[in-house]
Each structure stands twice: as C-alpha cells, then as structure tokens.
Amino acid sequence: MTKHIGILLFDGVEELDAVGPWEVLSWWTRTSPDDGYEVFLMADSLEPMNCAKGMRILPDVRVDAAPPLEVLIYPGGRGTRRHLLDEQRLEWVRTQRETVPLMTSVCTGSLVYAAAGILNGRPATTHWSTLDRLRELDQSIEVRPDDRFVDDGDVITAAGVSAGIDMALHLVARLAGVERAREVRRGIQYDPEPPV
C-alpha cells in the first residue's frame, strides 16, 4: 500500500523550501518505487501558486482531495506570515497533527507549527532571521539556532531554504535507510562546496 508525502504549496511559498525536498523525494520515489512512497504537491486550489521570488508552481491535488498522509512538509516563505493569523489554517494544521504520523517543516513553516501549538515544549529551528519570532510565538520551544534540522521523533523542523534538502535526505534515511539516502544524494549530485 502506497504511503503519501504531501508538500504544501501556497502563494508566497519560498521556492527552494518546496522544490528542494521535492527534488530529493521525487528522485527517491521514482527510482525506488518498491519502497512504497509517493510524493505530491498540494494546495487549497489547483491554480498556479505564485512563489516568493516569482516562480509559479502547479499543485498536483487540492488539500481537501489529498489521500491520507504519512508525511506533511510545510515550507516557509513570506506567505506564512498570513498563516500565523489565519485561524482556519492553524486549525487545519492541528487536524493534520492528529492523523499525520510525521509533520515536517522548512524555514518559516515552523512558525506556523508554533502558532498552531504543535511545537509546544519541543526543540525546533527555523530560518536564522526568524529565530526570535519562533521564541515569541511559544516560549516553551527549545530553539536550536545552529542546527540545519531538528528531528524530534514525529516532528522535524529544518532551518532556512537549502536546509530543506538536508532534512529531506534525512527523511529518506529514516523511511528507507541510510544506503537509500546515499543513493539519492548521489543521484541528485548533492555535494555542497560553496565557492565562498
């Protein structure tokens, strides 16, 4: 039986927050279908989502029509600012928490999780520029400013933008083993060597 990984899209989503994990997870699920996972992009509508820097992305499925999830990935981006004050969105996150075994976020997606109350008393991280905001949203969170991602069992939060790739590779290792994650890393030729 196929297990589903959903990456949430919304207007103002940071491109690499969504596309980085998508690259990792789609490479894995397409080259190793016997592992039993599928990844898709979901949004409130099937209209193109306007991302933070101008890219437009088409969702695969509407949120209300998505199959049950094994993993939810909540990216960040300027669009999350609205979500922090959107009680309907926060209630949706709480509902997901009740049924989705593994909740993950990238960048300021963790702020939405904090606002929804699902990071209460947990270690977590976010983009370096919003670490103080994470603390403000819930003072019980153990903010980890130096971690690329924080795995707290059924919740994983990743720092900003490119850290979502590291988190997604970690996710593959958790779900399918370290060797599979190494295959994916080699397949997407992810060997960071910053030029500066």
**Which residues of the chain form beta strands (DSSP E)?**
3-8, 37-43, 49-50, 56-57, 61-62, 71-74, 102-106, 123-124, 142-143, 149-151, 155-158
Q: What average pLDDT does the segment 170-181 reach? A: 98
Q: Mean pLDDT throughout 62-83? A: 97
Q: Kindly state the average pLDDT of the residues 52-66.
A: 97
Q: Is 51 a catalytic residue?
A: no
- Rounded mean pLDDT of the chain? 97
The rounded distance, in Å, linking the Cα atoms of 176 and 129 is 33
Quote the crossing angle between the two packed helices 163-176 and 178-187, to the nearest 10°: 140
Q: At 28, is the pLDDT very low, low, confident or very high (cuts 50, 70, 90)?
A: very high
As a whole number, mean pLDDT of residues 4-17 equals 98
Whether pLDDT at 193 is above 90 = no
> Which pLDDT does position 89 carry in this prediction?
97
Confidence bin at 73 (pLDDT 50/70/90): very high
pLDDT of residue 78: 95
Which residue stretches of 7-125 are H helix? Answer: 15-31, 80-83, 87-99, 109-116
- Exactly one of 107, 137, 159, 161 is catalytic; name it: 107
- On the question of pLDDT at 60 being above 90, the answer is yes
Residue 57: count of CB within 10 angstroms of its CB = 17
> What is the token pair recorded at 158?
């990743």
Output the pLDDT for position 194: 86
At 150 the pLDDT is 98
pLDDT value at 195 more than 90: no
pTM of the model: 0.97
Distance CA 32, CA 124 (A): 30
Read off the pLDDT of residues 111-156 as tens digits, 9 standing for 90 and up: 999 999 999 999 999 999 999 999 999 999 999 999 999 999 999 9
